[in-house]
Structures are given as structure tokens and as C-alpha cells.
Structure 1
Amino acid sequence: MDIIKGSIHKPVSVIVGVILIVLFGFIGMHKLPVQLTPSVETPQISIQTIWPGATPYEVEKDIIEKQEDVLKSVRGLTVLESSSYNSMGEINLTFSIGTDLDDALLRVSNKLEEVSDYPENAEKPIITPSGAQDSPIIYSLLKTLPGNPEPIQTYRTFFEDDVRQYLERIPGVGSLFVFGGTKRQLEIVIDPVKLAQHQLTIEEVSARLSSSNQNISAGLLGMDKKNYRIRTVSQFENVADPLDVVLLDDGLNRVLLRDVAKARIGYETNDACVMQNGVPMIVIGIRKEQGANTLEVTKQAKQVVDWLNSGILAQKGLFIDWVYDQVPYINTAISIVINNVFIGAVFAIIVLLLFLRSISLTATIAIAIPISAIGTFIFMWLLGRNFNVVSLAGISFAVGMLVDNSIVVLENIDRHRKMGKTPFWASYDGTKEVWGAVLASTATTVAVFLPVIFIQEEAGQLFKDIAIAITFSILLSLFVSVSVIPSLTDKLLEFSNRRKKVSGKSEEVQNGKPNAFVRMIMVLSHLSLKNWFTRTVTIAALTLLSIVLIVVLIPKAEYLPQGNRNLVLNILVPPPGYSVEKRIAVGNTIFEQTAPYFKEDYKDGIPQIKYIFYVASDRMTLFGSICKHDTEAGKMIPLFTRVINSIPGIFGVSIQAGIFQNRLGRGRTIDVNVAGADLERIIAVTRQLFGMISGRIPNCQVRPVPSLETSYPEANFVPNRSKTLANGLTEVELGRYIDILMDGRIIGEYKPEGKKKIDLVLRADTKHIETPEDIQESVIANRYGNLIRIKDITDLNYAQGMTQIDHLERARTVKLEVTPPEEVALEEAMQIIQQEIIAPLQESGQLEGVTVDVGGNADKLQITRRALQWNFILAVVITYLLMSALLENFLYPFIILFSVPLAAAGGFFGLRLVDWFVAPQTFDVLTMLGFII
């Protein structure tokens, strides 16, 4: 079928086709999920194991090392990382791109089944897939209403039991991040003196409570026409039930639990602090599912929160305060990109008008822009992509290229018209003659971008949207150039011929300037082509100039652009072992020093603060801030730096959250990993690197993970084995009793009728315990009915340890997260660290016993850059081969490719001009893709 002839003969069909493309384009655009950035799929699995009361060393030895030993051989695993904290261990597994996550989850679960000997009281490992650890798209806070005297911390169980499910049901919600508050528990508070009087031990009480708190099903009993379920029901259903448990009955004396203990509803020990603007609260973060529409999830979440606030929360004297979401930034970012698309289209049309000097011809060509741009959304929808700033950037990049094919076709039609041909034959012959060239141009562009779609690295997945947008918009522009343009031109020429007189006034626009420009170009061409010498000099000069400009102007590379999100995160590193009270005091100091900036705008040049939230626990201490002005969050960083530096014993980093950042503190960071077997040696080397990096890269922010201080205070009770045995006790009984004296020991579950279960905890009255010496003065009952003072059978030793122990590929590791200042590119900072710091230390033998490598975003930059370099080479090869095939000549494409170095030089020159005179411009991987374009 001759599409050109058919389009000219059937203009109505062409119009209908265009309308359908635009119609379905709008439908596709509204169907696409909207989010800030494209979905990046890095298959990851997190394993979390809770062991209440355990130290990082115990978690490492008894849980993490055992789990790592079985997980190290999981198929497809690329990175194995772990962290051991107080009471918890976490392993993060990263798999190769393309790994089926469901299959990986099954393999990981099966491997973990091989670990059978977990410590007593350790909970079952929790396995979560990729995305469960991503940063929330929404932050909100659970607060008490005025007049509610209850502390907000006591409402954590209420939230988990009665509120959480409504938020998790929202379509598109993946998981919740909830921090703060203490859960309810049923506490059995024992009296050791009364235990001794009845010659009972802690172990006996624990065993009797566990065996009494069970329901046992025995099956069905058929009787007459009915089946009866046979059950033994003895689970505790109210607070008083445990008190009736018989602990001892020897025929003469019966001892009930109520004789030696009391039962009460209590709360876990609070080990965290969460505040907003100085007021305690519970943080609720909402994470979305992969590919979900951020705007739609946010809209529905707001509706659910409003419903909760007017319903069950109001009845309890609570409300959820909506603090932060991505919607304003997404709308602003998308609006800016859309405006840029329109501005680019307008400029393209103006340039066409200046050179074509015809309003009708310019309008004919300009029609390709909306048809191709809007039609692209059909293919993005069909391919499962989403509506984001990167995909819109792809369309923005393509705007200038969309008219190229139409210009070639229209100019050739005009040439044939001037040869005296009829409108039909001018349109047909003019289009058919350049059909091959137009196809070649389109084919080379598409061929260049197809390989980009298959780059598997993180940045490659981001590029995929740009590649898809450009590829399909260019293909649609090809369709427009060989169907819409000849059909429309034919009708315009017929209309022009029917007119008796054509006014040139309305068609001519600034007629002289384009002619002068053309004459200047022709003079330069004539001079350069005058003879063999001038041709050689021209080629050599332009090539040499291009190479020199590229070498001189090429900037150091960045990874991904940061954007300008209205969120500043300040990650603090306090001395190890800070108590909850001390962390609360730090938070109060932050709120006191920032209080004036909540009331006054641009005080000391700092924009007004809208919110500050503070989160502190043994694992992390940070505060985040949102600016009243959406685009000026970065200007608050100097204030927060001063505040952090004013707090004794604390240092930290302040980072404006990036648009491509989906994990806490993972912006423009370079990870310097120091690994080895000897923890003291690792810390010594890391301290040395910390000082050298801070000195060599001024104003950089360096954060050690974990802390370099090994001063987490520990009080170790060492049993005297002979004395312990002589007093009728075992080391296990002693250890469990000290556990009971502290936060209590979980011995089962308590599930009232019709309510959610809570922990059943055995504990002692600890009002008198404030120091480790108080624990030594406590007494424990032995099996003979004697009270044994703990100090009589133990020695108390003070020691220091780590707050956290990290592993990378099963080796102990300490990491430095280096964030260079804005004026220092990521590549430059990485070269300084590798070449000027690490390399000399290795040569001098100062890194003996450890291995040091650079990773994080710096590593991703290198991987992506290599992929892009090969992609650029592949693009040149594909372009050359396609042009050779279409031109039937192997020499002519070389001549055309000589324009590439000059184009690259022009690109770098443009980057420098923008950086110098407009706004800071980084050479990130998205900019690199522009050079492939």
C-alpha cells in the first residue's frame, strides 16, 4: 500500500487518524500512574530478627553469623550486608537485576529454615521484599487532642489494633513506617521474698504460667445428629486469670500466683523519643507499592485520614496531623517540565517562521509537535511506564527533533511545486523522493535509543522512560511527515491556486535576515571548499578545535540530579549509650534554638520553618525540617549546621533530600567501606580516613556508620560458678532473673476475648533500680527457699562496646558516608579519596589488615558511566551502519559523523555557559544521555 498517495487522496481518513492518536494519547496520559521519578527495580530482601535484651555482639554471634552462613550461597545474590543492634539484627540482600523477587523470597525463606538453634526468646525472622525499606511518600503524626491527659506514647497498641488496617487497605499502599510509642503488655510482677517463703523459683513460676495459658483442641465427637468440638480452654481472658494459677499444691499447702505476685496492664520500656515542634507524638509514614500512582495514593490517604480523624480517633481524643507529602513538589516539577515543553515548542515554531517565512508552512510543520508528543503517551501506557519528570523530559528533548522530518518533506514538496507540478504530484513526488532520507534519519535515532532501554543499572532504568518517549515520538513524527504533511500541503496548494491573487505580506516575516544568514553561510562554505588546502585546513581546524574544547570544558561527573525537594534531613551522631532522657534534652535544645525561625521569615537570611520533627532512638537520631517556602529548603541548612555544632559531644550532617533518593541519607554520598577481622584495627583506620577526607575536601560532610566511638557503656555480671551452684542456682536462672529485673521477660501471650493479643511479661518491681549496683543488691529466691543477694554470687565488671556492628560480605565493616559540597562534583571527590588518600596509604602499608573500597553512588556512577560510554560507541556504530546501508556508500557516513565531535564540544560549551551565567549545572548521567541524543 502506498501510504503517501493514500493520505493525499483520503484527507478525511488522515484527520480521523490524527484525532484518534490525540484522543488515545490523552486517555493514556490520564491512565498513567503519576509519580516524581520512574520506578527503579533493584531486587532486595530484608531479614529482621528481634532478640529482646541482647547486645550487638550477642546478636552478631548467635543470629547474624548463622543466618549469613546459610544465605551466602543463595542464587543470584550480589551483595550481602548486615547490621547488629541492641535487641535486633538485620540482613539486607541485593540480587542481580532481573531476579524474580517472589522466587528469591522463597529461596531465602528455605535457607533460613536451615538455622534451627535460635536463642531462647528470639523472635522468628521477618522477611520483607524490596520497597519495604524505601522512604515513605507521606509523613503524618499521631497526636492527642486538647483536653486529653493521656501520654501519646500509650496509644501505640491502639493504633496497631484499630487504626493501622485502614491505612494499609488504601489501594497502592505498600507498607507503613511507624515509630514511637510503647505497646501494652500484661505484666506479672513477682515478689522474690514471697517466692522464697514458699520455696518457689522464677523458673517454676515461668513454666507454670506458660503451661496454664493454652487452649488445646482434641477433635470432633459425634453424638446423635451433631458433632461436638472438644477443646480444653485455659488461656487467660482477663487480667485476674493468671492470679488463679496454682504454683504449688503438696496436699497441705496450696500456693496461687496471687500469693507471690500481682497482675497489671503496663507498657514496654520507652527507648525512643519522637517530637514535632517540641511536642511528643508517634510518626506514621506511608510507603507506596511499586508503580502505584503517588497522587492517587496521597489523595485517598487524605480521605482516609480525614475519616479517621472525625471517627474513631476523635472518640479517643486523638488526631493524625498531615505533615509532608510529595504532591506539591510533583505538581511543581511536572508543571515546570510541561512549561519547558511548551516554551521549546514555541521557540521551535518561531525559528521555523523566521526561516520558512510563511505562516501557513510553519503551521503545517508545527502540527507534528502536538500529534507526536501526545501520541507518545499511548505507548508509555501500553508499556506500563508512568508519568514523571523524566518521561516528560524525554518528550521535551524530542520537541526539537519532531519537526525535522516534516521540514525535509515540506521543503522538497515546495521545490517540486516550483518546478511547475500540480499540487498532488508536487506533494506526492516531493514526499516520496525524500522518504528514504526521512526513514534513515528516524531509523538512526530509534536505533541509537533502543540499546538505552536495555541498560540494567539503576540509571539505565531511569533512562528507559526518556528512551521510550523519544523513540515513539520520533516514530510518530515519521508517520506525520509522510501522511499528514503531504495531505495537508496538497490542500493548501489547491487553495492557493484557486486564489486569484496571493498576498505576500502576510506570508513574509523578516525576509531579509534569513537571506543574510544564508548568504553568510554560503560565503563560509565557498571559502572552505575553495581548494584542497582550504578543505584540509577546515576539517583539521574544526576537528582540533572540537577535541581541545572537549578536553578543556568537560566537567567532572555527578550521578543523578538532586532536585529541590522541600525536606532537609539532619542525621546526628551522639556519643554511644545516650539515655532516652538525654536524647529528649537534645531534641528540646534543637527546638529552643530554632524557635525564632518559626515566627519570622528570613530572620538572618533563613526562610521561615514550617515543621521540625525529631526522632531519636538507640539506632538513629535525626531531625527533619520543612520550609514554609517550597523551593527554599536548602537555605535552612546553615542554620541547622550551627545548631548541630552547638550541641556538646554531637556532630552530624545536613542533607537536602534528593528527588531520586529513596533511602534515608542516600543523596550525593560516597561510601568508603573499611572491612577486616579486627574491629579495633578497622576503627583506627576509619578514624584516620575520617580526618584525611575532612581535611582534603573542605566543607564536606562525613558520617561514620556505625559510630567510631567504642564507648557504649556495658555492665557485665560475671557469675562465680562455684558460689552460684552452692546456692542452688544455675547461670541460666541468674541471667533470666536479671532480665526480669530489667525490662521483663516475655513468657507468652495474653488475648482477651474479642481483642488483639498482647505480650505476657514476667517482671519484678524495679522502682529501686537506678544503677547496676542496685541490681547487685537485689535478691533472688533459690529452690531451697533462701534469698540470695546477686552481689554474693557475681562480680560486676564495667566495659565498653559498639552501638552497632555492620558486616559487608560477612566481614566486619565500618562505613564513612561522604557528602561533598555542591561545588565539588561526585567524580572529583571520588578521585581525591581514591588517588590522594587511599592509594598513598596502601603504598605505605598503613592499611595492612583491612580492605578499603569506595562504593555507594560513586560506584553506581562508574558503572553507569561505563554503560553509557559503550552505549555511545554502539550508537555511533549503529548510526554509521544504517547510513551506509541507506546511502549505499561506506565513505559518506564518515563525512557525516565528523559533526559528532563538534556537536559534543558545543554541548560542553553550552553547559559551561549555563553554569557561569544562569544556574549551577552539573554533568550528571541525565546530561550524559543528552550527548547521546
Structure 2
Amino acid sequence: MAAARLPQAIPALSNRLLEKKKSLNLPGKLLVIDDFARWFKRMAVAYTQQVVRKKTMALGVVVGICGVTALATYLFLPKLEYLPEGNRNLVIGVVLPPPGYNLDTTTKIAKDVENAIRPHWVSERGPRSAEDESPKMRLFFFVARRATTFVGAVAEDPQRAGELIPLLQEPVFREPGTFGFVSQPSLFGRAIGGGRSINLDIIGPDLEVVLDVALKATGMISGLLPRQEGNQLRPKPGLELGAPEVRIYPDSLLLTDNGVTAREFSQTLDAFNDGLRVAEITVDGKRIDLTLKGNQKKIGETQGINNLPIVTRSGLILPVSSLAKVVVTSGPTEIRHLERERTVTLEVRPSPQIPLESAMEILQGQVMDKLKAAGLPDGVKLQLSGTADKLTEAWDHLMMDLVLAIAIVYLVMAVLFESFVYPFIIILSVPLATAGGVGGLAVLNLFTFHQLDMLTMLGFVILVGIVVNNAILLVHQTLHHLHKDGMSFEDSIVDAVRNRIRPIFMSTMTSIFGMLPLVAFPGAGSELYRGLGSVVVGGLTLSALLTLAIIPPLLALVAGLVETEPEQAK
């Protein structure tokens, strides 16, 4: 719409405003700014005259600028983060206490946690907090289940909700052997801690062997990513066999001697356990299961399982202990499978200061590789999943989108310029913007911490379509002087810089000042788009300067190879 309307609106408005300015005799000069602009223009033109006349100098400038910007991008590009979490006014935690805790012990832990944080309740001390005081809690809850405990709070001041995390962590994890998460739920994740958690899956056929490897990995992770520095760890399921379990191991030789198959033996036990489904019948128009059940009232203790009756084919009634071995032991509180194999997952949530990519490198290089080098048991595998998979997938898609954006911009310019060479010169301004975007994010981190997440990475994709505009102005004006005005190569390039330096900085400054509020002004949601704005502002700023430095020497090197100098210029 703007492209269709501006060619009619701008000339009319310009005519009206310029006539009014003449009649009012308004001053047309800005002190200091105009003097600096004229000085900068003279320096840019003088530089252009030097590089277009000396091909060796032009080549050195191009190689130097491209090498420095590429090296700076490589050295200062931060590690990747998946998505920003936002600042939701809710802190919630999932806590796994040691197995075997009864209701009385869990109730005591809940009271201790409640007493520890009671001084921070609004109902106890009022809603206001001193400058050096922790935020007040408007709501608090503690819910205990058989194997998992949930704890959470809501802050009176929504902007300080994140400060409640250490307040809850200290009393919750005071109990030895306790694992879990306490975090703000992510705006982009459903599970608690799922916004930026990494899963280390330990997979194998034997649960006890898998648990042994999981205990070793847990010790290594706790040393590399200690809880005292804000890192959190939660095993799924627990690392101990804490649920009472009765295991019955049939003796195949005794079963054969007494004419009882393993299937008959197991079905008899099912009948005395929770019932054996025989068929589905209809009673009063309703379909119900016909279930065969034994007399369970006669089994009042665990040892009674030894005396359950098994009827052989000859009619003899034998106790279970005569055909099998009954063992009272412990089992897992939860059975977890991945790809039909027993799995223990260590869910790691790094501190906010550690990017996900760095945490993944730590787990891969200093945990998984060391365990593999020491030798894993037969059949045991290690893999990263969860947000780690999402980050890798998002990065691959983003790189594909970035390459596609560059290719589309290049082809569009190739059609407009009717050449494949000049669009290539223009596309070289994109890496310069990348270095500026990295620099803009670095400057932002001097004032407030911000990770290089996927939303911030979109700023680099946006830059592809913006920064090429300055180079297009220079290349187009150069070709206009060369083809229409009959100038020489050198004069065309120098005159293009002289004529287009003002439009370049006018468009760049308007874009920069339009994006600055995203970076400079705090407020609700600013943590989501602040990084994107800093990348765009930094990329535009550096690109505007370096475009004037690299496009003229590139044109001087290439124009003589693809263009014929006009006879008038000769």
C-alpha cells in the first residue's frame, strides 16, 4: 500500500511544505549536526576517490573488512538459547522427596516450608517491601502426592516474581536427597521447567543397571552444574527403588513335573490378585466384564502369597511356594519407557546465565562422552532430548530460512539489475550487518542480561531485507551515472557516494530511532522483543558505515570486468 501511494503523496506534500518554508524564511541549518555531516561527507568522498583509483588498496579494504567482521561475529556470537521464558507472575516447583516418606513426614516438611516463608506473606507483613527486601507473596500453596510434591507462589509485585525462586528453593531442598525444579513457567512451554530443560535419557534393558549409570551421571552433573549456582536437576522416575514389591519367580522344572504351564500358573495368581477377566457379558442391557476372583480376604499379610492354591491337571492343590520362589523386595515408583525400553531421564534445568547450547555441550562433552569412554554396560544408551531436540530443530529451520531469504533477495535484485554480478556485491553487505547485530546484543548485555534466543535470531533474518537498501542506492546511482550520464567508472562511483550518502543516513536513522523504543523502554513483555530490537539497531548502524567502506572498492574491482566504459568518458 505504501509503495502504491507514496509516489503520489510525497511530491504533493513536498511542494506544499517547501513553498511554505520559503515564505516563512525558516532557518535550514542545524548547528553542529550540519557541520559534522559536511565533514563526514568530505571524508567519505575522499576515501572513495582513493580506493577506486588504487585496485590493490580496494582489494585490501574488501578483504580486511570482510575478514574482521567475520572474525568478530565468530568470536563474540553468544551461545544459543531456545525461547525467552517471559515474566509470568507465578513460581511453581515439582519436588521429588526421598522414597519411603509417609504422610506424617511429608506434613512436617510442609509445615517447615510454610514457617520458613511465612514472613514474606502479604497477609502477615503487608504488601509493601523495602528496597533491599525480598518481594511479598500474595498466594502460596503446597500439595503433596504419593511420590511428587508441588509448591508454588504468586508475587504481590508481578515484575519481581522471579525473585521468589530462591526463597522457595532454600526451604524446599533443605531435606537431604530431594530433587526437583522451582521456576517460572515459560510462556512457550506447557510442562513445569519445560521451557529450557534438557533431558539426558539413560536407556537399557535392565532397570538396576540403568539406575547405576543414572547415579553416576547425577553425581557428574551435580559437580558440573551445582544447585548453589541456580542449576536444577530432577530424575524421572526416582534414582532409588522405593516402592515395596513382591516378585514371584516360577520354577520351570517344578511346573513341568506337576503338569502346570507357566500361563496357567500366572492366570491363577491373577485371579487371586486383581481378578482374571474371562469374558464380556450382557446384564440388563449393559456390557460388563465377567471376572474370576479368588478369596482375597484370607491373605492378610505378604507371607500369605506363599500359600495361594494352585490346582494341577491331576487335581492336586499345591501352594505357590511349592512351584515358585516368592521374594519381597523393592521396585520403581514409576515405570518409564522410551522405544519400549526401560529409561531413567535426568531433567536438567541450567541457571538463567547459562545458555542451553552451553549446557548441552557440558552434558555431551563432560558427562556422556566420559561415561562412554569409561565403558557403558551392554545395551545401555545415552541420548539428549527435550528442549535440546527443539533447539537443534529450530536452529536448522532458522538457518534454512536465512539462506532462503538471502537467495530470494539475490534473485529479485538479479531481475531488477539484469545482472548476477551487482546483486552479489550488494549481498556482501549482509555479513556486515550480522557483525553489527552481534555487537548490538553485546551492548544490550552491558545494561541488562539477554540471551541469543530464537526470537532474537529473527532480527538477523529481518536485517537481510533491510541492510541491502543502502547498497542498492549506491549501485543503482553508479550505474545511472555510467549508462545515462556517460561518466567514467571512477567518477560514477565517487559521484554516487556524494549524492547518496544523505539518503542512506536519512533512511538508516529513521529506522534506528523507530526501533530504539523496543530496546530502551522497559515494560511488560520487553524481555521478549528487546533482543530482536538490539540486533536490528546494531546491524543497521554498522551496516550504514561499512556499506560506504566496502561497496565502492567492490564496484571498482568488478565494474571494469562487466561494463564497457562509455566513449564520452574515454
- Alignment TM-score > 0.5, same fold: yes
Once the two structures are superposed, the pairs formed by residues 333-372 of structure 1 within 5 Å of their partners are none
Amino acid at match of 1:872: L
Give the conservation status (yes or no) of the 8 Å contact 2:247–2:328.
yes
Residues 489 and 702 of structure 1, relative CA distance in 2, 3 Å threshold? same
**In the alignment, does 2:448 pair up with 1:925?**
no
Once the two structures are superposed, the pairs formed by residues 211-230 of structure 1 within 5 Å of their partners are none
Q: Name the residue aligned to 1:503.
A: 24
Residues 851 and 649 of structure 1, relative CA distance in 2, 3 Å threshold? closer
Gaps of 5+ in 1: 1-478, 752-756, 783-787
| Partner residue of 2:98 out of 558, 570, 575 | 575
The higher relative CO (CA closer than 8 Å, separation ≥ 6) is in 2
How far apart are residue 523 of structure 1 and its match?
Answer: 2.5
How far apart are residue 842 of structure 1 and its match?
Answer: 2.2
Give the conservation status (yes or no) of the 8 Å contact 2:193–2:349.
no
| Partner residue of 1:812 out of 342, 347, 355 | 342
**In the alignment, does 2:9 pair up with 1:487?**
yes
| Partner residue of 2:37 out of 518, 525, 537 | 518
Q: Secondary structure at the match of 2:24?
A: coil
Give the conservation status (yes or no) of the 8 Å contact 1:577–1:803.
no
Q: Name the residue aligned to 1:888.
A: 418
Give the conservation status (yes or no) of the 8 Å contact 2:201–2:384.
yes
Q: Name the residue aligned to 1:707.
A: 238
Amino acid at match of 1:683: L
Q: Secondary structure at the match of 1:652?
A: strand
Q: Secondary structure at the match of 2:154?
A: strand
What is the distance in 2 between the residues matched to 1:718 and 1:852?
A: 31
Give the conservation status (yes or no) of the 8 Å contact 1:644–1:651.
no
How far apart are residue 655 of structure 1 and its match?
Answer: 1.9
| Partner residue of 2:191 out of 660, 663, 677 | 663
Amino acid at match of 2:156: K
Once the two structures are superposed, the pairs formed by residues 788-807 of structure 1 within 5 Å of their partners are 797-807=327-337
Once the two structures are superposed, the pairs formed by residues 384-423 of structure 1 within 5 Å of their partners are none
Once the two structures are superposed, the pairs formed by residues 771-782 of structure 1 within 5 Å of their partners are 772=302
What is the distance in 2 between the residues matched to 1:909 and 1:523?
A: 27
User: What per-residue deviation string (whole Å, max 9, x for no partner) do you get for residues 700-743 of structure 1?
Assistant: 21211111112322245899999x99xxxx98677655659xxx
What is the distance in 1 between the residues matched to 2:183 and 2:439?
A: 30
What is the distance in 1 between the residues matched to 2:147 and 2:401?
A: 42
Q: Secondary structure at the match of 1:805?
A: coil
**In the alignment, does 2:359 pair up with 1:832?**
no
What is the distance in 1 between the residues matched to 2:204 and 2:306?
A: 41
User: What per-residue deviation string (whole Å, max 9, x for no partner) do you get for residues 313-359 of structure 1?
Assistant: xxxxxxxxxxxxxxxxxxxxxxxxxxxxxxxxxxxxxxxxxxxxxxx
| Partner residue of 2:216 out of 669, 688, 706 | 688
How far apart are residue 513 of structure 1 and its match?
Answer: 4.2
Q: Secondary structure at the match of 2:23?
A: coil
How far apart are residue 890 of structure 1 and its match?
Answer: 2.4
User: What per-residue deviation string (whole Å, max 9, x for no partner) do you get for residues 441-468 of structure 1?
Assistant: xxxxxxxxxxxxxxxxxxxxxxxxxxxx
| Partner residue of 1:858 out of 383, 388, 392 | 388
Give the conservation status (yes or no) of the 8 Å contact 2:183–2:192.
no
Once the two structures are superposed, the pairs formed by residues 567-646 of structure 1 within 5 Å of their partners are 567-598=90-121, 599-600=124-125, 602=129, 605-618=133-146, 620-646=148-174
What is the distance in 1 between the residues matched to 2:266 and 2:207?
A: 29
Amino acid at match of 1:625: A
What is the distance in 2 between the residues matched to 1:516 and 1:803?
A: 77
What is the distance in 2 between the residues matched to 1:588 and 1:715?
A: 34
Give the conservation status (yes or no) of the 8 Å contact 1:673–1:815.
yes
Give the conservation status (yes or no) of the 8 Å contact 1:674–1:851.
yes
Residues 813 and 736 of structure 1, relative CA distance in 2, 3 Å threshold? same
User: What per-residue deviation string (whole Å, max 9, x for no partner) do you get for residues 615-656 of structure 1?
Assistant: 333453322222222122211111222112222442322122
| Richer in strand (by share) | 1
Residues 484 and 899 of structure 1, relative CA distance in 2, 3 Å threshold? closer
What is the distance in 2 between the residues matched to 1:866 and 1:517?
A: 45
What is the distance in 2 between the residues matched to 1:549 and 1:823?
A: 22
User: What per-residue deviation string (whole Å, max 9, x for no partner) do you get for residues 500-543 of structure 1?
Assistant: 962143x85x6234423432331331232233154344333322
Q: Secondary structure at the match of 1:660?
A: coil
How far apart are residue 829 of structure 1 and its match?
Answer: 1.0
In the superposition, the TM-score normalised over structure 2's length comes to 0.65
Gaps of 5+ in 2: 260-264, 312-317, 463-570
User: What per-residue deviation string (whole Å, max 9, x for no partner) do you get for residues 888-930 of structure 1?
Assistant: 232222322222222111111110111122x111011111111
Give the conservation status (yes or no) of the 8 Å contact 1:562–1:659.
yes
Give the conservation status (yes or no) of the 8 Å contact 1:555–1:923.
yes
**In the alignment, does 2:64 pair up with 1:541?**
yes
Q: Secondary structure at the match of 1:714?
A: strand
Give the conservation status (yes or no) of the 8 Å contact 2:235–2:345.
yes
Give the conservation status (yes or no) of the 8 Å contact 1:655–1:667.
no
How far apart are residue 584 of structure 1 and its match?
Answer: 4.1
Give the conservation status (yes or no) of the 8 Å contact 2:271–2:294.
no
User: What per-residue deviation string (whole Å, max 9, x for no partner) do you get for residues 242-263 of structure 1?
Assistant: xxxxxxxxxxxxxxxxxxxxxx
What is the distance in 2 between the residues matched to 1:500 and 1:804?
A: 80
Residues 890 and 581 of structure 1, relative CA distance in 2, 3 Å threshold? same
Q: Name the residue aligned to 1:560.
A: 83
Quote the RMSD (CA, aligned, Å).
4.4
User: What per-residue deviation string (whole Å, max 9, x for no partner) do you get for residues 460-518 of structure 1?
Assistant: xxxxxxxxxxxxxxxxxxx2243155236426625865x6962143x85x623442343
What is the distance in 2 between the residues matched to 1:548 and 1:684?
A: 45
Amino acid at match of 1:502: S
Q: Secondary structure at the match of 2:375?
A: coil
How far apart are residue 696 of structure 1 and its match?
Answer: 1.8
How far apart are residue 801 of structure 1 and its match?
Answer: 0.8
Give the conservation status (yes or no) of the 8 Å contact 2:80–2:453.
yes
Give the conservation status (yes or no) of the 8 Å contact 2:236–2:346.
yes
Give the conservation status (yes or no) of the 8 Å contact 1:527–1:534.
no
Amino acid at match of 2:331: G
How far apart are residue 594 of structure 1 and its match?
Answer: 2.5
| Partner residue of 2:200 out of 664, 672, 679 | 672
Q: Secondary structure at the match of 2:158?
A: coil
Tell me the number of residue pairs that the alignment of Structure 1 and Structure 2 aligns: 435
Amino acid at match of 2:23: V
What is the distance in 2 between the residues matched to 1:500 and 1:618?
A: 80
Residues 881 and 849 of structure 1, relative CA distance in 2, 3 Å threshold? same
Residues 733 and 682 of structure 1, relative CA distance in 2, 3 Å threshold? closer
What is the distance in 1 between the residues matched to 2:119 and 2:295?
A: 46
In the superposition, the TM-score normalised over structure 1's length comes to 0.41
